[in-house]
Amino acid sequence: MNEKANVQIAYSQSNSIFSAVQDLKAQFWECEISLLIVFASSFYDQSLLLRALQNSFPETEILGCSTAGEVISDHFLQGSIVAMAFNKQILDDFHIEVVENLSEEFDLIPALKGFENHFGFALDHIDHHAYVGLVLIDGMAMMEEKFMESLGDKTNLIFIGGSAGDDLKFQETFVYAKGNVYANASILAILKPQNGFDVLKTQSFFSSGKHLTPTKVDPTTRTVFEFDGKPAAQAYAEALGVKIADLPSLFMRHPLGLMADGEPFVRSPQKLSGEALTFYCRIVEGVSLTILNPLDIVEDTQKALATKMAEIGPVQGIIDFQCILRTLQLREEGQTDAYAQLFKGFPMIGFSTYGEAYLGHMNQTSTMLIFK
Amino acid sequence: MDLAGQIKLLLEQIILTKSFGDPILHKMTKVKLLIKGINVDDFDDESEDDPDMIRRLCDIAAEFGLNSCFFDQFKGSEMKK
């Protein structure tokens, strides 16, 4: 697969970790892999998987996480492992750091110092055209907003990534790097791709023109009690012209968007909590949100990819951090294969996340890192 | 100190200092402010000055690591109020 490419991809659906890793290895023609990124179903014991990967790729830095579904060029998968291998020709340099104890008072400074020591300059002065950050974070710690905000405060670099999953069990998720598997942690990697990079954020929604302003919230539980001074569920139902009881069936198709220059950062309702609404990400009081209307995910993603390809030219690889809610919708509509086929012809891997990272934490979005 | 129009001035200075005048970083900083709950486009020269907002923006400047006399003067004026 992908002969002579600097970025190679592989996948395995074997139930046995040993067989799966051998399967992956057999698909890589390149022996000198400098970085291996792995996304694996929670079906696999992540510690055993990492150990097996390290044994098979002893000279390679490995990072990855558990997922809620996997995707690779032309295949939408469940219960599998997907991997992307980078050789030395595609990455001029990279460095990986781990931030632990997210739920406590986590400290970003040691990780930032680690990057500074490696690259030789502070991350608020880094060349953001040449370097890009990758972030994988525990999907159950509910610390994504605080973590991404803190990262954004202290750096001037694009960090893109997603929250680890556990196949919709919502019990525990894992991230891994530097030979260890972590919960309640985040993996940060800064890459310097030789031919540059780009990012694509697409969410397949457009503004309905209707707005709701949260006037009473609890950011720690991601709960909105009131929109525009009314009980949140009532205000949301009135804006959609439906009964409150009908709201849950409309959450996925009409989430809210925090609009930045016309582009939504999606905030997805999770459930009714009495008259309140609980979201999959934090809602900030006083900032107007827009009710969104859906577009066809496959068609819209195809357009977004085509526009980006026309802009940047040949692509060496793509990592797709795709919201589990988009995956569920694709499954419901029987569109998973059509989605995977959008990436036929170039190396791509991705996983179904519990939230996407790009400047902040968001939902129902695909954030993609594109290697030129 | 006359506080008229100072929120917009403060926002412009935060964005300029954080982004070093780089247009991509300028856009990124505006999004970071929005995610924190500050919609830059909501403020213009006529916007009513709000001491709580000025205090919040001074805090954000500090979170961004922007320590300068410019931001200190706002902190000073806020404390006098």
The string of pLDDT tens digits covering residues A300-337 is: 999 999 999 999 998 999 999 999 999 999 999 999 99
Flag if B31 and A158 touch (Cβ within 8 Å): no
pLDDT at B2: 54
β A263-267/A269-273 pair status: unpaired
Q: Does the structure show a pLDDT above 50 at B1?
A: no
Q: Is residue B39 within 8 angstroms of chain A, CB to CB?
A: yes
Q: Which two tokens stand for residue A88?
A: 């030395």
pLDDT tens-digit profile of A205-224? 999 999 999 999 999 899 99
Closest CA to A253 of A295, A218, A284, A215: A295
For residue A13, what are its two tokens? 């659906």
Q: Are B61 and B38 in contact (CB under 8 A)?
A: no
Residue of chain B with shortest Cα separation from A287: B37
Percent of the residues in chain A that have a pLDDT greater than 90, as a whole number: 91
pLDDT digits over B21-72, tens only?
A: 899 999 999 999 999 999 998 888 888 888 888 889 998 998 998 876 666 6
Nearest to B31 among A153, A260, A285 (CB): A260
B50 contact A CB<8A: no
A215 Cβ contact list (under 8 Å, min separation 6)? A226, A227, A228, A229, A285, A286
Cα-based angle A201, A206, A210 (whole degrees, multiple of 5): 130
Q: What is the pTM of this model?
A: 0.92
Calculate mean pLDDT across residues A7-34: 92
Q: For residue B81, what pLDDT is reported? A: 42
Test A287 with B39 for CB contact under 8 angstroms: yes
Residues A31, A341: Cα–Cα separation, whole Å: 28
Q: Which residues contact A3 (CB under 8 A, 6 or more apart)?
A: A29
Give the nearest partner residue to A149 out of B30, B36, B39, using CB atoms. B36
B28 and A156 within 8 Å at the Cβ level: the answer is yes
Q: What pLDDT digit, counting tens, does each position of A65-102 carry?
A: 999 999 999 899 999 999 999 998 899 999 999 999 99
A265·B19 Cβ contact <8 A: no
Q: What are phi and psi of A116, to 5 degrees?
A: -60, -40
Instruction: Examine the pLDDT at B73 and tell me if it is beyond 80.
Output: no
User: Nearest Cβ partner of A359 from B18, B31, B39?
Assistant: B31
Q: What is the mean pLDDT of residues A28-36?
A: 85
Q: Do B37 and A286 touch (CB under 8 A)?
A: yes
DSSP string covering A150-161: HHHHH--S-EEE
Instruction: Among A152, A285, A287, select the one facing B32 at the smallest CB separation.
Output: A152
Cβ contacts (< 8 Å) between B64 and chain A: which residues? Answer: 153
Nearest CA in chain A to B19: A156
Q: Taking residues A112-135, report their average pLDDT.
A: 93
Chain A residue with the nearest C-alpha to that of B25: A156
Q: Is B7 on the interface with A (CB under 8 A)?
A: no
| Full strand arrangement of the beta sheet holding A256-260 | A205-212, A289-294, A256-260, A263-267
What pairs with residue A42 in β-bridges? none
- Residue A161 is which amino acid? G
Q: Is A3 helix (H, G, I), strand (E, B) or coil?
A: coil
Are A153 and B30 an interchain contact pair (Cβ–Cβ within 8 Å)?
A: no
pLDDT at B47: 84
As a whole number, mean pLDDT of residues A230-246 equals 96
Cβ-contact A199, A369 below 8 angstroms: yes
Query: Measured between CA atoms, how close is B42 to chain A, in angstroms?
Result: 10
Using a CB–CB cutoff of 8 Å, tell me whether B40 touches chain A.
no
Domain ranges of chain A: 7-202+297-371, 205-293
The pLDDT of residue B6 is 87
At residue A4, the pLDDT reads 66
Q: Which residue, among A127, A135, A136, A137, has the nearest Cα to A193 in the 3D structure?
A: A127
The confidence score (pLDDT) of residue B80 equals: 45
B37:A284 CB<8 A: yes
Mean pLDDT of chain A: 94
pLDDT over 70, % of chain A: 98
Confidence of residue A152 (pLDDT cuts 50, 70, 90): very high
B18·A156 Cβ contact <8 A: yes
Confidence bin at A1 (pLDDT 50/70/90): very low
Q: In this predicted model, which residue has the larger pLDDT, B47 or B77?
A: B47
Residue-wise pLDDT for A165-195, tens only, equals 999 999 999 999 999 999 999 999 999 999 9
Q: Which residues of A touch B26 (CB under 8 A)?
A: none
Q: What is the pLDDT of residue A220?
A: 87
Q: Does B53 touch chain A (CB under 8 A)?
A: no
8 Å CB contact between A359 and A152:
yes
| Residue of B32, B37, B65 with shortest CB distance to A287 | B37
> pLDDT-based confidence at A32, cuts 50/70/90?
confident
User: Would the ipTM clear 0.90, i.e. be above it?
Assistant: no
